[in-house]
Structure 1
Amino acid sequence: MTAKEAVPVRDNGPAEDDFSIIEPAGFIPVQVESGGKRLLLSPRALTIAGSLLLGMLALVYLLVARSLIFETQPADADVSVSGLALPLGDGHLVLPGHYSYTISASGYLPKSGEVDVSSDGHSRHVVALEKKPGHLQVVSDPPVALRILVNGSDVPSENGLAKNIPAGTKRITVVTDRYLPYTREVEIEGLDNTQRLQAKLRPAWANVRISSNPPGATVSVGGEVLGTTPLNAELIQGDRQVSLSLPEYKTVEIPVAVTAGVDQTLAPVDLSAADGLLRVVSKPEGAGVTVDGEFRGHTPLELELSSGGQHQLRFFKDGYASVERTIDVDAGVERDLNITLDAVYGRVRISSSPADAQVFIDGRLAGVTGETFNLPARSHSILVRKSGYVDYETSVVPSSKLEQTIRAVLLTADEARWSRIPTEISHPAGGVMKLMRPNAHFTMGSSRREQGRRANEVLRQVALDRPFYLGTTEVTNREFRRFRRMHSSSHVNGVSLDNDNLPVVNVSWSDAAMFCNWLSERDGLSPVYLTERGSIVGFDAGANGYRLPTEAEWAWAARYEQGAMRKFPWGDELPVRSNSGNYADNNAAQLVPAVLRTYSDRYAATAPVATYSPNSLGLHDLGGNVSEWIHDLYTIGTGLSMRREENPVGPQNGDYHVIRGSSWRHAGLTELRLSYRDYGAEPRNDVGFRIARWVN
């Protein structure tokens, strides 16, 4: 019992004497030696705790880590992965994250890269290493200096060793002087290994026996001297040019086809005596030279002439008398020859209109027109010049036997410009057009006092100076059918209007305008008539294409003559003159109500174009045959204004177009007059057209 333990007391009564007093006992703590420490855990406990902690960490790593596997080529390559990567079987165990790797193997180029490993699964990568290049040692038989080609390309080599050839199948070619190329397919292993190729070389030459008469000639090929004849030469295969030379003999070139390994003997070469050399100069220089009729050049000149015979030399130059010489030269001898040519002159007289113009000969002022010039008998350029006129240029070769004359007609700038413009052209359909150059002021229409006048022939003052081309005849059926192949001009009571040379009829004004546009397109010109959806909607007065003549142009071409306006196509008086046109005569009695009883034109209806005499401008049928569609829209003036109209083309808008000229149906005074005007839009069997075009 310790000091703190108490002895139980049984209660037997109140007597004090029976109670024991409990005394406290003193506490004495355990004494520890001074300077010592108390150990809480033993070393064994710490070891166990550490092992448990490491085990738990390893378990966590195994639960979190993912495998990183590299499938390599070659399979035994070394794989190095950065960071905490535990090798495990064929791969590494790593925590999710970013890693760098390097893969290497003997004989291969190392390869590095980076990968990301996620927590979702394992990571597998395929990596193929590239083989290191290989080396090839070529040993030739016989041993000679050589070049190595890999797949056709030269590669550096030293003593037959070509280094760093990429692995794979390669075409190896061994090239060397005087031997045929040696080619083999070689599988280059690579892996930094050196392979050996034995090349058995075959000669690329053949023995060629060369001889000459006389012997002792020097033999050379490609500038390399091989020896003197007779000679056995080793020539490389191919087409060779063998040269044989011997003093005082001509050098001979012989083509020889050489095949490797095939020896040959050439036929003896006969050497002929060498040419002599003749150096020729002339006064003046530049004389032409012929030798035995063959042109050889101009002086000064060196001529090689064959020896042992004579040669005929001729020297000539414009303006000089020719000289002939007979020459012979010895083999290998050089000679000089000096020739003097005597000038030959001819007389040329130059005149001009107008007179007193300057004359330039060969670019130099020589005098004035009206003079005669004494010129060397060679070609000279002649220029005649006078202020206000275009220069006149020509050339002349004077003759010593006769005097020549040049007459220069000088033109003003305007005359020269018009001289370059053709006076006659043909349009794409085949018709002929003449150049018209009006410069006239005239009155169009007719006086109210004129017998037969109609109210629409109002007098108009017109100025016409714009040049134009105008058809010499009306457009024929043949020409129109080139535009519209199926067109028919039909007939009148059995009388045909459809023959090829008859004027086309039964065409509307729009048909005629479309034909003009078609001609413009064929010639690459701007069309005059504007179209929308196949209909004419206006015209462009500035276009350069084909068109119908304006009313002013037609009236001028038909009526204007020497400042006056003629009344009828044949003149100013009736009756109708013979052969003046196609009108309603007795031949048309069955077709029309009124005819000219005293006139015959030989045709019942239309006549072939150009059947009758043209007017003074060379134009046919402006009166008779068929009436003609005109470019202008139809209007009637008031007659109150006498304002002069400049090159009028008519309004842009209207319902009808003007028709001018009489036709085969007309016999009355009103219609036969050239001032007669009609109008319409629809086809008629007595209305055709002719074409015009402005000159720009």
Structure 2
Amino acid sequence: MTAKEAVPVRDGDRAEEEFTVIQPAGFTPVQETSGGNRLLLSPRALVITGCLLLGVLVLVYLLAARSLIIETQPVDADVSISGLALPLGDGHLVLPGKYTYTVSATGYLPKNGEVEVTGEEHSRHAVKLERLPGHLQVITDPPVPARILVNGEEVASEDGLAKNIPAGTRRITVVTERYLPFTREIEIEGLDNTQHLRAALRPAWANVDISSHPPGATVTVEGEVIGTTPLTAQLIQGDRVVEISLPEHNTAKIPVAVTAGVNQTLAPVELAAADGLLRLSSSPSGASITVNGEFRGQTPLELSLSPGDVHQIRFFKDGFASVERRVDLSPGSEKEINVDLSAVFGRVRITSSPAGAQVFIDGELAGTSGNTFTLPARNHNILVRKEGYEDYQTTVTPSAKLEQTVRAVLLTAEQARWSSIPAEITHGAGGRMLLMRPNAEFTMGSSRREQGRRANEVLRRVTLNRPFYIGTTEVTNRQFRRFKRMHSSSHVNGVSLDNDNLPVVNVSWTDAALFCNWLSQRDGLRQVYQTSGGRVTGFDASANGYRLPTEAEWAWAARFRNGTMLKFPWGNELPVGKNSGNYADNNAAQLVPAVLRSYSDRYAATAPVASYTANPYGLYDLGGNVSEWIHDLYTIGTGLSMRREENPVGPQDGDYHVIRGSSWRHAGLTELRLSFRDYGAEPRSDVGFRVARWVK
């Protein structure tokens, strides 16, 4: 026995039982079996352990996981997320990382994407699905084949069904033959659904009644024969040309403006008898043709002429005698006329200066000048050429009745160059300028022995050979106000200096230079004066723009006559010559202290420009009216220098500019002389300017 057997105990025996001695049993140890297959834990323990581990993992997952919500349109779309993603409410529970998703719904295009979930926050991602295209079934009334346009672009259709139209608002146009386009704007719902559109078509034609005299003429519209007159034709709207033709009659072309639904009746068409066909040719070809005096073309030529009339046909060609023919044609007939033209010659004598030049006629060397040439009576190009001279070219048409002469005056290259340069120009402000081509050596200034001489009139040897343009008059108020609109030359003791045709005064040298720059810019020329901040800082002597005259140019234009220098504007002696200019005369007695008692110029102050006699070069007021600003800076030499100055432009430095010429304020011997020099910088009531420019 391994344990004591249990014996039922009665109540009476319980006392005795309490004193029963328990005997120890024998113990035999269980022998361990070798082999290692014995389980350390029971299956129940393993299950419990596994559950614990799983719970730990779930707890860790729940602590680390974040929610990922994919918000979809439509809201009932299916969402599939890659990897371990537990559905949770409206979203999924996922660990941080990158996930791909697929959103799909019936009637929509599926959409794939990628989203990244971080460990710091929950993720929310919106996805909108694009609806599948829809289909449109167009039903026309009446049922006719039609083309379908979506937003102006034609789409493929079969039996009126246009497939795969993108969802959204679309402009649908139904186009068909003989009906007006039908247009509607509809909402394509898509989702692979088919919608229906009923198109009530309106006719695009109108009934046009067409008749002719005689009847039975064939009616053709745009190359299609539609019947014979009289008839009622259905013509599509638009500008149409109806052709009505009948054998042996001229075809009539009638323009018809057709409006859909607006019927009309054309006036009966009178068909005239058919023209005859006349074929014309000549030998040589290229002869000009006139019919009844009207030019019709050159041979070979086909003409349609009215039947039953006599037509005067004339053939003519340069160098040939003209030929005339008379012709009449029956309706629908054809006739040919061919004529032989006879050459006509004339004599042309060609001379040249200098003689002995080569003569080219129509590009071929024909001989030398001084000869007479017999040429066909047509236009010829004549070229006369001699070495060292520019070619002379002209055209001539010889006459059989009269000998002609061509006189070629040959020019050197220099002469030809100057012949192309205008002798007179008008600048942008309206002033006239004359071309001057000086080639002179002269002495500026005056001798110490000359009465009235000033110390600044030092003698200078000058060579002037650079051509230039110079204004015939001083710049007027009108011209200057095109540059400065508000400029006023003011007045002197109530005498106005401001009228349009009076010379501008009360301008500084800088004002005059800036006017020249403005004029250069206006006329597209390179500016002479260099400026900075409204100040003139230098000049460009190579520029072709407008400027003030140099002192050498002014002295040459005012004084140089036949190799000598003039003393006064009117000559070399006093008194002042009649109409010589505007000086201080009796009219200015109230304005100036000294006047010329024996001279009258009719004006108290300034006079209109060009009021007095021009000098031999065509220039006005170089003496009198107003003194003039000069380009050169002012300086005083030390005496006559043996050094000859060529085309001088003045010194490089100085505070003032030269002023030349007398004015309306002057009456003294010193100022009236053309060698008189003054200087300044600021405006004066008796100082103006004229413009000049070099010829490049």
**TM-score in same-fold range (> 0.5):** yes
Give the corresponding residue for 1:286.
286
Cα distance, 1:50–1:233 mapped onto 2, change above 3 Å: same
Give the corresponding residue for 2:365.
365
Give the corresponding residue for 1:324.
324
Cα distance, 1:82–1:506 mapped onto 2, change above 3 Å: closer
Give the corresponding residue for 2:315.
315
Structure 2 CA distance for aligned equivalents of residues 139 and 597 of structure 1? 111
User: How far apart are residue 653 of structure 1 and its match?
Assistant: 1.9
**Contact kept in structure 2, 1:491 and 1:498, CA below 8 Å:** no
Give the corresponding residue for 1:6.
none
RMSD: 4.3
Give the corresponding residue for 1:641.
641
Q: Does 1:409 align with 2:431?
A: no
Give the corresponding residue for 1:20.
none
**Contact kept in structure 1, 2:462 and 2:647, CA below 8 Å:** yes
- SS for the counterpart of 2:387 is coil
- Code of the residue aligned with 1:295 in structure 2: it is F
Give the corresponding residue for 1:8.
none
Cα distance, 1:97–1:458 mapped onto 2, change above 3 Å: closer
- Code of the residue aligned with 2:383 in structure 1: it is L
Give the corresponding residue for 1:390.
390
Q: Does 1:222 align with 2:222?
A: yes
Give the corresponding residue for 2:135.
135
**Contact kept in structure 2, 1:174 and 1:183, CA below 8 Å:** yes
Q: Does 1:300 align with 2:300?
A: yes
Shifted more, 633-642 versus 449-458: the winner is 449-458
**Contact kept in structure 2, 1:489 and 1:504, CA below 8 Å:** no
Structure 1 CA distance for aligned equivalents of residues 142 and 467 of structure 2? 94
Structure 1 CA distance for aligned equivalents of residues 527 and 518 of structure 2? 8
Cα distance, 1:357–1:251 mapped onto 2, change above 3 Å: same
**Contact kept in structure 2, 1:539 and 1:652, CA below 8 Å:** no
Output the TM-score relative to the length of structure 1: 0.81
Q: How does 1:27-66 map to 2 (within 5 A)?
A: 29-30=29-30, 41-44=41-44, 46-47=46-47, 50=50, 54=54, 57-58=57-58, 61=61, 65-66=65-66
Q: How does 1:183-332 map to 2 (within 5 A)?
A: 188-195=188-195, 212-229=212-229, 235-256=235-256, 269-332=269-332
**Contact kept in structure 1, 2:445 and 2:458, CA below 8 Å:** yes
Cα distance, 1:495–1:359 mapped onto 2, change above 3 Å: same
Q: How does 1:572-591 map to 2 (within 5 A)?
A: 572-573=572-573, 578-580=578-580
**Contact kept in structure 1, 2:634 and 2:658, CA below 8 Å:** yes
Q: Does 1:439 align with 2:409?
A: no
**Contact kept in structure 1, 2:527 and 2:544, CA below 8 Å:** yes
- SS for the counterpart of 2:322 is strand
Give the corresponding residue for 1:15.
none
Cα distance, 1:488–1:299 mapped onto 2, change above 3 Å: same
- SS for the counterpart of 2:331 is coil
The higher radius of gyration belongs to 1
User: How far apart are residue 465 of structure 1 and its match?
Assistant: 1.1
Structure 2 CA distance for aligned equivalents of residues 624 and 686 of structure 1? 10
Structure 2 CA distance for aligned equivalents of residues 592 and 260 of structure 1? 91
User: How far apart are residue 412 of structure 1 and its match?
Assistant: 1.3
- Code of the residue aligned with 1:157 in structure 2: it is S
Shifted more, 90-99 versus 280-289: the winner is 90-99
- Code of the residue aligned with 2:542 in structure 1: it is G
- SS for the counterpart of 2:415 is helix
User: How far apart are residue 543 of structure 1 and its match?
Assistant: 3.5
- Code of the residue aligned with 1:463 in structure 2: it is T
Structure 2 CA distance for aligned equivalents of residues 182 and 582 of structure 1? 87
Structure 1 CA distance for aligned equivalents of residues 639 and 279 of structure 2? 93
Shifted more, 561-570 versus 667-676: the winner is 667-676
Q: Does 1:166 align with 2:174?
A: no
**Contact kept in structure 2, 1:79 and 1:103, CA below 8 Å:** yes
Give the corresponding residue for 1:553.
553
Cα distance, 1:657–1:98 mapped onto 2, change above 3 Å: closer
- Code of the residue aligned with 1:349 in structure 2: it is R
Q: Does 1:463 align with 2:463?
A: yes
- Code of the residue aligned with 2:339 in structure 1: it is I
User: How far apart are residue 327 of structure 1 and its match?
Assistant: 1.5
CA deviations on 1:160-212 (whole Å, 9 max, x unpaired) are 43322334454444444345555556554533344555666666556666555
User: How far apart are residue 43 of structure 1 and its match?
Assistant: 4.5
User: How far apart are residue 338 of structure 1 and its match?
Assistant: 0.9
Give the corresponding residue for 2:109.
109
Give the corresponding residue for 2:350.
350
Structure 1 CA distance for aligned equivalents of residues 483 and 614 of structure 2? 27
- SS for the counterpart of 1:382 is strand
Structure 2 CA distance for aligned equivalents of residues 185 and 479 of structure 1? 66
**Contact kept in structure 1, 2:461 and 2:640, CA below 8 Å:** no
- SS for the counterpart of 1:406 is strand
Q: Which runs of 5+ in 1 are unaligned?
A: 3-24
Give the corresponding residue for 1:12.
none
Give the corresponding residue for 2:6.
none
Structure 1 CA distance for aligned equivalents of residues 380 and 84 of structure 2? 104
**Contact kept in structure 2, 1:623 and 1:672, CA below 8 Å:** yes
Shifted more, 294-303 versus 621-630: the winner is 621-630
- Code of the residue aligned with 2:423 in structure 1: it is T
**Contact kept in structure 1, 2:458 and 2:640, CA below 8 Å:** no
Output the TM-score relative to the length of structure 2: 0.81
- SS for the counterpart of 1:553 is helix
Q: Which runs of 5+ in 2 are unaligned?
A: 3-24
Shifted more, 453-462 versus 383-392: the winner is 453-462
Cα distance, 1:256–1:681 mapped onto 2, change above 3 Å: closer
User: How far apart are residue 333 of structure 1 and its match?
Assistant: 1.9
**Contact kept in structure 2, 1:477 and 1:489, CA below 8 Å:** no
User: How far apart are residue 329 of structure 1 and its match?
Assistant: 1.5
Structure 1 CA distance for aligned equivalents of residues 394 and 471 of structure 2? 35
**Contact kept in structure 2, 1:86 and 1:94, CA below 8 Å:** yes
- SS for the counterpart of 2:405 is strand
User: How far apart are residue 300 of structure 1 and its match?
Assistant: 0.8
**Contact kept in structure 1, 2:459 and 2:640, CA below 8 Å:** no
User: How far apart are residue 643 of structure 1 and its match?
Assistant: 1.5
User: How far apart are residue 303 of structure 1 and its match?
Assistant: 0.8
Cα distance, 1:346–1:90 mapped onto 2, change above 3 Å: same
User: How far apart are residue 153 of structure 1 and its match?
Assistant: 2.7
- SS for the counterpart of 1:617 is coil
Shifted more, 670-679 versus 582-591: the winner is 582-591
Cα distance, 1:281–1:600 mapped onto 2, change above 3 Å: same
Cα distance, 1:601–1:238 mapped onto 2, change above 3 Å: closer
- Code of the residue aligned with 1:461 in structure 2: it is R
Structure 2 CA distance for aligned equivalents of residues 297 and 268 of structure 1? 34
Cα distance, 1:381–1:168 mapped onto 2, change above 3 Å: same
CA deviations on 1:335-394 (whole Å, 9 max, x unpaired) are 111123334444433332222222323323333333333333333332222221122222
Q: Does 1:654 align with 2:658?
A: no
- SS for the counterpart of 1:547 is coil
Give the corresponding residue for 1:21.
none
CA deviations on 1:465-497 (whole Å, 9 max, x unpaired) are 1122334444556655666655446447x8777
**Contact kept in structure 2, 1:209 and 1:265, CA below 8 Å:** yes
- Code of the residue aligned with 1:281 in structure 2: it is S
Q: How does 1:510-521 map to 2 (within 5 A)?
A: 510=510, 512-521=512-521
Cα distance, 1:74–1:438 mapped onto 2, change above 3 Å: closer
Give the corresponding residue for 2:18.
none
Shifted more, 328-337 versus 590-599: the winner is 590-599
Cα distance, 1:222–1:625 mapped onto 2, change above 3 Å: closer
**Contact kept in structure 2, 1:240 and 1:256, CA below 8 Å:** yes
Q: Does 1:694 align with 2:694?
A: yes
Cα distance, 1:292–1:111 mapped onto 2, change above 3 Å: same
User: How far apart are residue 251 of structure 1 and its match?
Assistant: 2.6
